[in-house]
Amino acid sequence: MAAAIGSIWPKPHSALKHLNHENTLMKTSKDYLDEANATVPRISAEEAIAAHGKANAVFVDVRDSSAIAGSGTVAGAQRIPRGMVEFMSDDGSPLHNEAMKKDADIFIICAAGGQAALAGKTLQDMGYRSVTNIGGFADWKDAGGPVED
């Protein structure tokens, strides 16, 4: 009986295909994160600290301002909230951040690494050539990376 019931019950939510109103497959947040993690390399805080201060290195904190206010950020980091990455990284946008150059070595940090991965994938899609996820700020701070308020 259990086998028969198991065959008629839907699979767990994570295994279901998500369809929109036009019956086309929709992506989940996990799909986006998996894609980002597959293309944006992630390095340790120690490796990132070694790159800090190099001529072509641009560090970007994509956390919101309240998170940065509560913990600080990487010394010299550009503060570009995740929701503004596209606008502040597009050299044709009036909101463009001049530090964001497609030939720079971009190192992205957030709270745990997920937002950095997603932002990194977006930058790759925008033509940035060297984009690296350095994970979460707590790891940076614990490893002795330079910080500022």
Q: What is the CATH number of the domain that holds 16?
A: 3.40.250.10
Closest CA to 132 of 117, 149, 147: 117
pLDDT tier, 25 (very low <50, low <70, confident <90, very high otherwise): confident
Average pLDDT estimate for 19-26 = 74
CB-CB contact of 57 with 104 (8 Å): yes
pTM: 0.84
- Average of per-residue pLDDT values in the chain: 90
On the question of pLDDT at 88 being above 60, the answer is yes
Handedness of CA 54, 96, 126, 108 (dihedral sign): positive
Q: Which residue has the higher pLDDT, 6 or 135?
A: 135
Domain total of the chain: 1
Question: In sequence order, which residues have a C-beta less than 8 Å from that of residue 37 and are 6 or more positions away?
Answer: 117, 133
β-strand partners of 73: 148
Percent over 90 (pLDDT), the chain? 83
Please count the other Cβ atoms lying within 10 Å of the Cβ belonging to residue 132. Answer: 21
Q: Which residue has the higher pLDDT, 93 or 17?
A: 93
Question: In sequence order, which residues have a C-beta less than 8 Å from that of residue 54 and are 6 or more positions away?
Answer: 105
Q: Which residue has the higher pLDDT, 48 or 19?
A: 48
pLDDT of residue 20: 67
3-state SS assignment for residue 147: strand
- In terms of residue numbers, what domain contains 86? 2-148
Closest CA to 37 of 107, 117, 135, 105: 117
